[in-house]
Structure 1
């Protein structure tokens, strides 16, 4: 029996990295863990969450005004100034900035805002100390939202990279990268969001996998060819039947 080459093994590994029965199926969230966040004193967390809720509650509508967005951003800025490692406030400030400025990383308003750095800070401060460490539900919520937001923004930037835009407006981590490299970064974030429970991010991560897309195209072409063979066979049968009559 012929064994797989190392290249074949690498390709299969890349495919199953983004398969729902693989790494994305294992959630690191432990719902039995008490609510807590790294570097935030337990006694301060409840008060911080109340202040944060007060800051973002005016945005709980279909079309919050720009003034409401700016006020919420200012209050969230006060929170992270007082508690620089409060990951949830960074994540929510990024969401408010997206509502204010949109989702195009090439946009100068986004470049000059804290949107990208907020998502990076939210991920850094909410992440567990060890890669396999379980997290509580609150940590999981922050991580899946921040990873999903950053992944979506990065994926959109990759899709716009063919357009004549100033790539220097992009975050430093993306400046100078080819489209495929930007897509890889987006896929990595979307996979992480999927592991923390974001089902839409999980689907995007699977569809964004280049090897999975290749396999999907191969399967689609094979199905089309097989259907054509079935049609040809049916037409031939119909032809013989007509001649017999």
Structure 2
């Protein structure tokens, strides 16, 4: 705590000093709790609507056919025929509305179509992917869908929702989400700025250039 006390002597506000105390006393472990930071009890609230799993097993012969059609659609997208890919994935969904992977891939294709597809349209597909995904996460779809949602929310400027979705993606094993979640933690960003400012004051307490 000596470092924290030294920083407080440099004229930080009481709120900033509280943040520094939390950081140097290791009171924060993985999450930044608002009542510790601001002095008021206001825990992080997930604003994402909960999605009830409606996973349904698909028989293997049907699944093989769906995957073959899906690979064809992905190939279209890779060749730049994005709208054709979206159309093909839509046909797959029409034929098997509870096939989660098609929603996930259609969302990705729609993201490539922008501004042709709205954020809400993309998020709607991702919600359906999560709804119908294997709850065990063994196929990776939950991790992919939550990670895509995190990217969309981040681009929309919704930091809290992005952090929540990246955290969910990471919990389902998605490597991109594991890297993104710490960077999107709003409290980590806040604390990082406070510590950075405090270090600047330590290096240059008089504010001289």
TM-score band, normalised by the shorter chain?
Answer: 0.5 to 0.7
Give the SS at the match of 2:124. Answer: helix
Structure 2 unmatched ranges of 5 or more: 1-21, 34-54
Query: Could you tell me whether the CA contact under 8 Å between 2:89 and 2:106 is conserved in 1?
Result: yes
- The residue that corresponds to 1:12 in the other structure is 28
Query: Could you tell me whether the CA contact under 8 Å between 1:14 and 1:211 is conserved in 2?
Result: no
Counterpart of 1:119 (choices 126, 148, 169) is: 126
Aligned-pair CA distance for 1:94: 1.0
Give the SS at the match of 1:15. Answer: coil
- The residue that corresponds to 1:76 in the other structure is 89
TM-score (norm 2): 0.65
- The residue that corresponds to 1:146 in the other structure is 145
Structure 1 unmatched ranges of 5 or more: 1-7, 18-36, 103-108, 129-133, 159-181, 233-245
Aligned-pair CA distance for 1:49: 0.7
| Equivalent residues in 2 for 1:5-84, closer than 5 Å | 12=28, 15=31, 38-61=56-79, 64=80, 68-84=81-97
- The residue that corresponds to 2:137 in the other structure is 135
Q: Counterparts of 1:51 and 1:151 in 2: how far apart (Å)?
A: 27
Q: How well do the aligned residues superpose, as a CA RMSD in angstroms?
A: 2.8
Q: Counterparts of 1:45 and 1:217 in 2: how far apart (Å)?
A: 49
1:95 maps to 2:111:
no
Cα distance change, pair 84–187 in 1 and its aligned pair in 2 (3 A): same
Aligned-pair CA distance for 1:82: 0.9
Aligned-pair CA distance for 1:186: 1.7
Q: When the two structures are aligned, how many residues end up with a matched partner?
A: 160
